Amino acid sequence: MRQLIDNLAFNLLLVGYPTGAGEPASPTIDSANRAAAGLLGYGAHELAGLPLERILAPSSLALCRAALTRARQRDAAECFEAELVARNHSFQALVTASSLPPRPGAGKALLLIQAIDPASDFLVMRRVIEQSASAMMVTDASGRIVYVNPRFSALSGYTEAELLGQNPNLLQSGKMSQQDYQELWRQLAVSGEWQGEICNRHKNGGEYWVAESISAIKDSQGNTTHYLAVAEDITGRRAVESALAESEQRFRQMADLSGEWLWEQDPKGYYLYSSIAVEQILGLTPAQIIGKHYTELLTAQDQQAHVGMSSSQQSFHALVNHYRHSDGHPVITESTGLPLLDAAGNLVKWRGVDRDITARMQFQNALIESEKRTRLIIESSINAIIIMDAHGIVTDWNRRAEQMFGWPADAAIGARLDDLIIPPRFRTAHRSGMRRFLASGSGPILNRQTEQVALRRDGSEFPVELSVAPLKLGDSYIFSAFIHDISGRKAAERQIRQAQVELAVAQNELKIAQQIQAGLSPAAPLKTGEFEITGVCLPADKVGGDYFDYFYRDGGRLDIVIADVSGHSIGPALFMVETRSAIRMKSSSEAAPEAVLSALNRFLFNDLNRADYFLTLFYLQVDPERRQLHFANAGHPPPLLFNRHSRQFAELDADGLIVGLRQDVRFERKTVELAAGDMVVLYTDGLVEAEHGEHGFFGLERVKSEIAANADLPPQGIIDALLDSLRRFCGTEKFADDITVLVFKWR
């Protein structure tokens, strides 16, 4: 046998090493055949007894020791690339280590050496595979892993040693069914190839996605000997696709919940998409809409007026459309459309929204009719009715005044009243009385019926009974005068008194409403050794629909509430009062924020639904003992959580519809831990949506910037700085929407 090995053309070395625990230490060359000795520049017996490190470069020696260990552990051959040191030179070689059955206390291994040209195709291909950015795995015909490249180990988290000899099902995540794997093997058996996407499990337990291609490797007889799998990491792409799908789903859900008809049309005006709101507006399902041309739904009159709209490529806003509901009644919508163009300026599709304004148009028409009736009453009155501003200029002049004084309305309006109807001898007293009233608020003939002498255009004078009433509008006044003959005096008197009573009642009711609303919010900041909280509400009108509150509940927890009823007038203010009462009542029986919101939604649903209002609300509960925040949200802008140490913001948000949309709503509860220096800023949308004509919205980023810049101030100081910045940005002290801000600081 020794002679046979000696005469082999292969380069063989017999190596001995200790077989104890741990890595092989100081392997030595037992013997070398003639071919190996000649390759290394030694005589046949010169290598015997030399340490293996004599013929291996240091880095290659470490590779050899590792290969010997793996070969011994798996009882299999291990191949590695090494730098060999011959007597007079060094060269690159491919070394295969095979373990032999050990003797007591020692082991033997054969090293097969194949010298290779560094520029050879074989070495280049080996390095291509080893350094490939694609993960590669080779299994034998039975599915046992026999090779993985470094990229595969990096992708899976397993080392080469952990993978070799294992079945690839080690990587299964459970996302693919057994039927999927059976189909994979069926395709390999039929065609020898399979391609697809697989979700694998990383060694650390996480999941990753790969686009994998598996090919069968056959021998010269066509028998499958191995399988090669090449995989590309597509985890990021799958995450993007998932996020896009989730975003699209959210868009569709918001479209369905908005109550407005959202649609898309192709460049020719045929519907590609329709939200379910079309059922409520037109009585048609989205399926009945898609594929139709937009003109098919319009009335005949609008079909002629709107033809060619889709090809214009011009956006349109507040376009009034007339439809016919499926049950026959007329429907009026206000339509806004935006053309979507590609990079070359070509129209891709239209996207728009139709808002049902049938009720609003009916109300506007009714209001116009009411104004016409009022004007008709004024014009047909048997009394002269004149309205004058604080400068004595006539602003209204009815037909009876034309007949009584001889001045047509177009000549009288814009002229001074005293020049038209007051005799010259009384004009000085009239002007003095006006100045005195504007300075002191008193006038001897105001709000009284008095007999006066009036002047006609032709210069003639005549006695009249005059009743003048001042009406406060903002910071100024207007004056309404009823001039009539004696027979009409009582009727005119009743009209004026009734007008005065109604005005006084309205003003008094508004004042009471202001007082009530002001008394509902906390009267003072709340300060403890652990935190401080305060808030402010700026109504857009005399009363508003915003509301905030903070109060203790049993157990030492602090409940914080901020809410916004749609609109900002008496109606929303009344709902705000009802909301506060309901919250105070429910908070005594419901402990968790989400439970309070669910009970509140059921309690207010019918009232909000009948009144066509809705309510957004954020409920925050502070647990000082556990240093936690528990919260639930009903469609309100997420409050900002700011840490003064990290200077980072986080938004506190949880799933939940606005109150009043559906009767049964499930609200999500979330909890975050409080850290030292944390601050929570709660606000209504009036803050971020406050607008400047040239600069757009105030926006959330400006809010964050002001909070960060003033984070060291007490809560009231932060609120003052924020509102000062808002006033400077908008250039006004009065805003279009209610604005409410609360600041909670944890010490």
Phi first, then psi: give them for residue 671, nearest 5 degrees: -135, 135
Average pLDDT of the residues in 165-174:
86
How is domain 130-238 classified at the CATH fold level?
Beta-Lactamase (3.30.450)
Residues of the chain with CATH 3.30.450.20: 2-115, 130-238, 259-361, 383-489
- Each as own residue / partner, the long-range contacts of residues 271-279 (CB below 8 Å, 24 or more positions apart, any chain) are 272/349
Pairing of strands 461-473, 739-746: unpaired
- Pull the structure tokens for residue 15: 């190596």
pLDDT of 703: 94
Residue 34 has pLDDT above 70, yes or no: yes
CATH of domain 259-361: 3.30.450.20
Closest CA to 739 of 652, 654, 681, 661: 681
Torsion region of 567: left, alpha or beta (phi above 0 gives left; psi -120 to 50 gives alpha): left
Distances (CA, A) of 11 to 62, 526, 679, 710: 21, 88, 75, 79
Can you say how many angstroms the Cα of residue 546 is from the centroid of all Cα atoms in its chain? 22
Lowest-confidence range among 2-6, 48-52, 167-171, 525-529?
2-6
Tell me which CATH homologous superfamily contains domain 520-746.
PPM-type phosphatase domain (3.60.40.10)
Q: Is the pLDDT of residue 23 over 70?
A: no
Residue 448 is classified by DSSP as S
Where exactly does CATH 3.60.40.10 map onto the chain? Answer: 520-746
- pLDDT score of 548: 92
Q: Which CATH superfamily is domain 2-115 in?
A: PAS domain (3.30.450.20)
Give the pLDDT confidence of 351-404 residue by residue, as tens digits: 999 999 888 888 887 777 777 777 777 777 778 899 999 899 999 999 889 998
Q: What confidence tens digit (pLDDT) does each residue in 205-232 have? A: 889 998 888 888 888 788 888 888 888 8
Single-letter code of the amino acid located at 290: I
Report which DSSP code applies to 659: B
d(CA 382, CA 572): 41
What is the structure's pLDDT at 488? Answer: 46
Locate tokens 């092989």: which residue?
24
Q: What is the pLDDT of residues 681-729, one digit of tens each?
A: 999 999 999 998 888 999 999 999 999 999 999 999 999 999 999 999 9
- Contact of 545 with 736, CB cutoff 8 Å: no
In the prediction, which pLDDT does 24 show? 47
Predicted pLDDT at 333: 92
| CATH number 3.30.450.20 given to 383-489 | yes
What is the model's pLDDT at position 221?
85
CA distances from 88 to 57, 84, 162, 183, 335 (A): 14, 11, 39, 58, 90
User: For residue 343, is pLDDT > 60?
Assistant: yes
How much is the pTM? Answer: 0.37
